[in-house]
Amino acid sequence: MTAYFARRLLLIVPTFIGITLMVFTITRMVPGGPLERMMSKMQQMDQSSNVGKSTNNNSNKSSALSEDQQEQLKIYYGLDRPIYISYFIWLKKVVTFDLGTSTRYNEPVWEIIKSKFHVSLTYGLLVLVISYLVSIPMGIYKALKHSSIFDNISSAFIFIGYSIPNYVIGIGLIVIFAANLDLFPMGGFASENFSDLTMFEKFADIVWHAFLPVTSYLAASFAGMTFLMKNTMMDNLSADYVRTAMAKGLSFRKAVVGHALRNSLIPIATSFGNSISVLVMGSFLVETVFNIDGFGLLGYESVVERDYPVVLGVLVISSLLFLIGNILSDICVALVDPRVQFSE
């Protein structure tokens, strides 16, 4: 088993290189990179300063920068070398935890990413804990009371959460609870006067702001997990070993808790590793809707603004989390299910 996981860990390397190389190549090949942005900015400034003057430099109008300056900028952004060489330079820096400098903020990418972590992590943890705490008991209860009134009504609600994208739920919640009823803020992570508040008020403020976004995150993750729990529980309840347990005189409660429940938790454990990447990444659509300055929004904005060092930095973190999360899932499964043998 150790050999299996060692191999899986080693396989992260080629996959990681594949992902980053592909995005790196795309960012280098498309127009509108940092150099073009800089040039168009310069051109605008040049034109606005030339207003009123008769411009006689029509031939030179296409670029406000001289050839020399362009070359310097290319070297500054590392655009003077072929793609594969600059990729390896970039990769070498990544290995030493240097993700480069943002072209938009002129700050180290690592610092920018770090400053967003706490926001996404707060929401991620809240969502993770609440969804496990609620959906596991709920799934069990729904399985035991299959096709009861409670089961049918809750299924209808869960279906809404399952079929609607979570940011649309977020928009719906904003319309009802923030715009009309005025119960919750429209968005943001904390109030503007956050630093003046006492410890307790700070906590309450964050919870108050978090309520709607966390609900819309929950709606999606919660639906999937409750159904998973319910369906596996029902499969196990009708399995032969539960019937055997009942037949030998075990009470129903003992048969459920001692036998069916333990086996039903295995698929839930599978999903645990994957929630790690969701935990940190969040969903930028939800973050856009609620105007939360988190990790997802950072990635989205940097793509739109062509801030490629940040794009690649976000990609490094997210793909590593995802790849490690997959392995963690397998480890979880191996831990809860002794039948699983990974060595072939």
Partner 1 sequence: MIKFKINPLTQKKIKRFRTIKRGYYSFLLLSLILGLSLFGELMVNSRALIVSYNGKLYFPTYGAIITGKTFGLEYGYETNYRELRDKFKSSSSSDWLVMPIVPWNPYENDLKEGAFPPLPPDSSVGHFLGTDTTGRDILARLFYGFRIAILFSFLLVAVNYSVGISIGSAMGYIGGKFDLFFQRLIEIWSNVPFLYIIIIISSIITPSFFSLIFIMLMFGWMFMTWQLRTSTYKEKAREYVLAAKSLGASDARIIFKHIIPNTISVIVTFVPFSVASGIAALTSLDYLGFGLPAPTPSWGELLKQGTANLNAPWIVSSVVVSMILVLMMITFIGEAVREAFDPKKYTTYE
Binder among 8, 19, 91, 201 for partner 1 (CB under 8 A): 19
Q: CB of 148: closest distance to partner 1 in angstroms?
A: 10
- Identify which of 176, 175, 227, 185 has the alpha carbon closest to the alpha carbon of residue 207: 185
Q: Which is nearer to partner 1, 194 or 322 (CB)?
A: 322
Selected from 24, 123, 132, 167, the binder of partner 1 by CB under 8 A is 167
Burial of 83 (0-12, 13-18, 19+ CB in 10 A): middle
Question: Smaller CB distance to partner 1: residue 265 or 321?
Answer: 321
Q: Is 108 helix (H, G, I), strand (E, B) or coil?
A: strand
Q: Does residue number 164 form part of the binding site for partner 1 (CB under 8 A)?
A: yes
CA atoms within 13 A on the CB side of 7: 7
Q: Which two tokens stand for residue 140?
A: 């069990």
DSSP states of 78-91 as a string?
A: T-SS-HHHHHHHHH
| Positions in 41-80 near partner 1 (CB under 8 A) | none
- Site for partner 1 contains 249 (CB under 8 A): no
Residue from the set 8, 23, 87, 331 that interacts with partner 1 by CB under 8 A:
23
Stretch that binds partner 1, among 77-85, 116-124, 126-134, 283-291 (CB under 8 A): 283-291
Stretch near partner 1 under the rule CB under 8 A, chosen from 49-57, 96-104, 125-133, 169-177 = 169-177
235 binds partner 1 (CB under 8 A): yes
**Structure tokens belonging to residue 62:** 């296409």
> Would you count residue 15 as binding partner 1 (CB under 8 A)?
yes
- The continuous run of DSSP H or E covering 172 comes out as helix 166-173
Q: Select the residue interacting with partner 1 from 229, 268, 315, 316 (CB under 8 A).
A: 315
To which residue do tokens 């060595």 refer? 343
Query: Across the strands, what pairs with 101?
Result: 108
CB-wise, 206 or 289, nearer to partner 1? Answer: 289
Q: Which of 27, 103, 232, 329 binds partner 1 (CB under 8 A)?
A: 27
Q: Taking CB under 8 A as the criterion, which residues in 215-234 touch partner 1?
A: 234
How many residues bind to partner 1 according to rule CB under 8 A? 48
Which residue, 90, 95, 86, is CA-closest to 312?
90
State both tokens at 79: 């655009």
Handedness of CA 123, 128, 129, 132 (dihedral sign): positive
CB of 23 to partner 1, least distance (A): 6
Structure tokens at 315: 């990609």
- Number of helices and strands (H, E) in the chain? 14, 0
**99 makes contact with partner 1 (CB under 8 A):** no
Contact with partner 1 (CB under 8 A): which of 144, 197, 261, 266? Answer: 144
Angle at 73 between CA 71 and CA 75, to 5 degrees: 70
User: φ and ψ at 11, to 5 degrees?
Assistant: -70, -15
Interface with partner 1 by CB under 8 A: which residues? 14-15, 18-19, 22-23, 26-27, 30-32, 144, 146, 159-160, 162-165, 167-168, 171-172, 174-175, 179-180, 234-235, 237-238, 243, 246, 252, 255, 285, 288-289, 299-300, 303-304, 311, 315, 318-319, 322-323
